[in-house]
Amino acid sequence: MSTSRCRSWCHRCRGDRWCRRNQPQRDTRCPATATSLADVWDVEVDELWRYQLMGLIEQTPALTWLLLSKRIGNARRMTRAENGHRPLPGNAALGATMVTQKEWDRDAGKLAETKKWGSPRFTFASVEPMLEPVSIRENAPDLVIVGGESGAGARDWDGFADAARAIRDECAEVGAAFFMKQMPKKAPIPADLMIREFPAALAGNIAAGLHERENDDA
C-alpha cells in the first residue's frame, strides 16, 4: 500500500473518531470519499487493496463512504462474498460518473440495480464535468451532483446553466437531491442554481456538523 494511500486512510479513521465523539446523538454520518485518484471497481485494482478498503469502511461506521466510479457495472461481482470478496458495507454509498446522455443511458440503470443486489446507503451520480444537456429522469439516483470543467484548458459551452437548471427541475420532480458543485471555469454560480442538497439517508444537519468541526479544530 502506498504511503499517500495510508495517509489518506488514516485521515478517514480520525474523521470517524471525530464524528463519534462530537455527534453521538445524531443520526448523521459524515461523508468521506474513498480516493480521488482511483476507481474502486477498476479491474486493474489489486483485489487485496479493495478487500482492505471494504474492511476499513466497516471499521468506520460514523462515516458514509462515497464510492464513485466510471465502472459501476463491476461492483456486483466484486462484492460477492461467495467469490471470496468482502460484501458492500452498509455505510457505503455507490455513485457513477455520467457526463453525457449516452453515458447516463448506459450506466444509470446499472446504478439503480445496486439497490436490488446490495444495500448501499444511497446512490448518487456525478454529472461532472457535464459536457452536454443530460436528462436524469430515467433511473434517477438519490443524489445528482452537477459541475463544469475547471483547471487548465477548461471548456465552457453555451447553455450550460440552462442544462443544469433542467437537471435541478427533474430532481425536484422525481424526489432526488440536487447538488450544484461548480460552473465551468469556476465562474460564479447563479443564485437560482446555488442549491446543495443531501439525500435523506444523510439525516441530520450536515452543515451544522461541519460548523461544529471547524470550531472544534479552531
Q: Quick check: 22 pLDDT over 90?
A: no
Give tens-digit pLDDT for 122-162.
999 999 999 999 999 999 999 999 999 998 889 999 999 99
pTM: 0.84
Q: What is the pLDDT of residue 146?
A: 98
What is the average pLDDT across 159-175? 98
Q: What is the pLDDT of residue 12?
A: 57
Could you tell me the three cell numbers for 127? 454529472
Which residues have CB under 8 Å from 4's CB, separation 6+? none
Which residues have CB under 8 Å from 2's CB, separation 6+? none
Share of the chain above pLDDT 70, in %: 78
Using 50, 70 and 90 to split pLDDT, how confident is the model at 31?
confident
Q: What is the pLDDT of residue 34?
A: 73
Tell me the pLDDT of the chain averaged across its residues.
86
Q: Quick check: 67 pLDDT over 90?
A: yes
Using 50, 70 and 90 to split pLDDT, how confident is the model at 218?
very low
| Of 26-30, 40-44, 132-136, 204-208, the least confident | 204-208
Cβ atoms of 127 and 147 within 8 Å: the answer is yes
Question: Residue 9 phi/psi, 5° resolution?
Answer: -70, -30
Which residues have CB under 8 Å from 162's CB, separation 6+? 133
